[in-house]
Chain A
Amino acid sequence: LAKTTQPISMDSYEGQEVNITCSHNNIATNDYITWYQQFPSQGPRFIIQGYKTKVTNEVASLFIPADRKSSTLSLPRVSLSDTAVYYCLVEGGGATNKLIFGTGTLLAVQP
């Protein structure tokens, strides 16, 4: 499974748009890019998944360039409750594979 690299931490203010970029240079052809969010004392929670181009849901957008060697999670107008650790994972899709977690990005949203 491809290894991912992302910033260890980021700071933002309420109402701002936050973009977290993840590198996955060794992504395989059949791999999907998935982002999870984790609050303290909770397990990771699925946010969004994509294969290429752009995916948007009610929580976030995911931008994936043509070479798929990186991806950017975009959180519009963050609030204090978006303070969490965000994990970028590369996996084979189909929800039947073990997940390889990296260090994640700790996003701290300030008032």
Chain B
Amino acid sequence: EAGVTQFPSHSVIEKGQTVTLRCDPISGHDNLYWYRRVMGKEIKFLLHFVKESKQDESGMPNNRFLAERTGGTYSTLKVQPAELEDSGVYFCASSQARAGDYGYTFGSGTRLTVV
């Protein structure tokens, strides 16, 4: 089965520009999560989709971040306008709650650098 795919793997943008990150979860996984690790910090939760609905967006840092999951398939995370402190690695994960299957599958992440 294909894993969680994230695009792009790297992005370098200037402060004030817009960037859109994409995540393709494992097919059939209803749960999709975004996480972020900024330099020197721990991996932090951003938000959780169940299908196309936002279940928990308590980790979103501010209104410059917009996440969508139209149709309950892939998700996008847009940062507009980007600031220097947004630099970091953005991870996406998906899961499907089933008896005996409790693992989350993470993508390789998108490394975002804002200059």
CB pair B42 A43 closer than 8 Å: no
CB pair A96 B31 closer than 8 Å: yes
CB pair B95 A43 closer than 8 Å: no
Q: Which residue of B lies closest to A94 (CB)?
A: B97
Interface positions, chain B 82-110, Cβ under 8 Å from A, are: 91-93, 95-98, 101-109
Residues of the A chain whose Cβ atoms lie less than 8 Å from the Cβ of B102: 32, 34, 49, 93-95
Q: Min CB distance, A61 to chain B, in Å? A: 17
* Size class of the B contact interface (CB-based, 8 Å): 20 to 34
Contact of A44 among B43, B56, B59, B97 (CB under 8 A): B43
Q: Min CB distance, A106 to chain B, in Å? A: 13
B64 at the interface (CB under 8 A from A): no
Interface positions, chain B 36-51, Cβ under 8 Å from A, are: 42-45, 48, 50
CA distance A98 to B56 in the complex (A): 9
Residues of the A chain whose Cβ atoms lie less than 8 Å from the Cβ of B91: 43-44
Contact of B105 among A32, A46, A96 (CB under 8 A): A46
B112 at the interface (CB under 8 A from A): no
Residues of the B chain whose Cβ atoms lie less than 8 Å from the Cβ of A103: 42
Check A95/B31 contact, CB under 8 A, given A43-B4, A43-B93: yes
A13 at the interface (CB under 8 A from B): no
A102 at the interface (CB under 8 A from B): yes
CB pair A42 B96 closer than 8 Å: no
A41 at the interface (CB under 8 A from B): yes
Q: Which residue of A lies closest to B93 (CB)?
A: A43
Check A101/B101 contact, CB under 8 A, given A41-B108, A45-B106: no
CB pair B103 A95 closer than 8 Å: yes
Interface positions, chain A 67-111, Cβ under 8 Å from B, are: 87, 93-96, 98-104
Residues of the B chain whose Cβ atoms lie less than 8 Å from the Cβ of A41: 108-109
Check A102/B56 contact, CB under 8 A, given A42-B108, A43-B4, A95-B103: no
Interface residues of A (CB under 8 A from B): 32, 34, 41-46, 49, 87, 93-96, 98-104
What are 21 inter-chain pairs, A to B, with CB distance below 8 A? A41-B108, A42-B108, A43-B91, A45-B106, A46-B104, A46-B105, A49-B103, A87-B43, A93-B102, A94-B97, A94-B102, A96-B97, A98-B45, A98-B59, A99-B33, A99-B43, A99-B93, A101-B43, A102-B42, A103-B42, A104-B42
